[in-house]
Chains A and B, each alone.
Chain A
Amino acid sequence: AAGVIQSPRHLIKEKRETATLKCYPIPRHDTVYWYQQGPGQDPQFLISFYEKMQSDKGSIPDRFSAQQFSDYHSELNMSSLELGDSALYFCASSLTGGATDTYFGPGTRLTVL
């Protein structure tokens, strides 16, 4: 079965650069969630989208923005990168925000040098 796809899987950037992370949900899933997991930390909720509209917002810095497109894929845009942004960024998808079928992607490991 198709799973949540994230690209790239690894990304290395310099401070103050920008980065774009992509998430492709499971087919027919209309809800996407973004999480950030720092080294040795638990995943922290950043933001979510349902039907291309932002549905909830967590601890997402103002330097970050995200959107969901008409094909339901989502992009997390990160600007003015800081060393502290180095983390594993997970995307998850579900159908109509339901917990019963929330699946996590493999994550994008971002390293900021």
Chain B
Amino acid sequence: AQSVSQHNHHVILSEAASLELGCNYSYGGTVNLFWYVQYPGQHLQLLLKYFSGDPLVKGIKGFEAEFIKSKFSFNLRKPSVQWSDTAEYFCAAYSSASKIIFGSGTRLSIRP
């Protein structure tokens, strides 16, 4: 069965540090990949998505992600985090069964 894995459950960084959150998916066919952010008490917001083309995808709020097919990875990056980036981050994939499946999420805490 298709799955999305996020191995970092909780990441703590200082402001201005660089961020990389790991995401791996298990599916050999065409993949559509997403990163969503959920601020405390809020709903899911789409950060970026990849369907085809340039494997380096730029999203909102300075986030980007790189699709590496050979590694089945879609890691999220940001060169310099801010306190306001404190949130839960979910990697997701659009499965062949026509629904979005989510990873377990990574909680990002930023020290001011």
| Residues of B within 8 A of A (CB-CB), count | 21
Residues on the A chain within 8 Å of B42, using CB = 106
A residues 75-111 near B (Cβ < 8 Å) are 88, 90, 92, 97, 99-100, 102-107
Answer whether A56 and B101 are a contact pair too, CB < 8 Å, given A43-B90, A99-B51.
no
Instruction: Let me know if A33 is at the binding interface, CB within 8 A.
Output: yes
For the complex, is A42 an interface residue (Cβ under 8 Å from B)?
yes
Chain B residues with Cβ under 8 A from A105's Cβ?
Answer: 43
Instruction: Judge if A55 is at the interface, Cβ distance under 8 Å.
Output: yes
Interface presence of A8 (CB below 8 A) = no
Q: Which residue of A lies closest to B104 (CB)?
A: A42
Instruction: Report the bound CA distance from A99 to B94 in whole Å.
Output: 6
A38–chain B nearest beta-carbon distance, Å: 12
Partner of B43, one of A50, A99, A106: A106
CB B16 to nearest CB in A, in angstroms, measures: 28
Give every chain A residue within 8 A of B45 (Cβ-Cβ): 104
The CA-CA distance from A107 to B102 in the complex, in Å, is 16
- State whether B102 touches A42 (Cβ < 8 A): yes
* A contacts with B, residue count (CB < 8 A): 24
Q: Is the CB of B102 within 8 A of A43?
A: yes
**Is A64's CB within 8 Å of the partner chain B?**
no
Decide yes or no whether B32 CB sits under 8 A from chain A.
yes
Report how far A40 CA is from B32 CA in the complex, Å. 25
Most chain B CB within a 10 A radius of its CB, from A42, A43, A97, A102: A42
Bound state CA distance, A78 and B26, in angstroms?
Answer: 33
A33 interface neighbour in B46, B90, B100, Cβ under 8 Å: B100
13 contacts between A and B (CB under 8 A): A41-B104, A42-B90, A42-B105, A48-B98, A48-B99, A90-B43, A97-B98, A99-B100, A100-B32, A100-B49, A104-B36, A106-B43, A107-B43
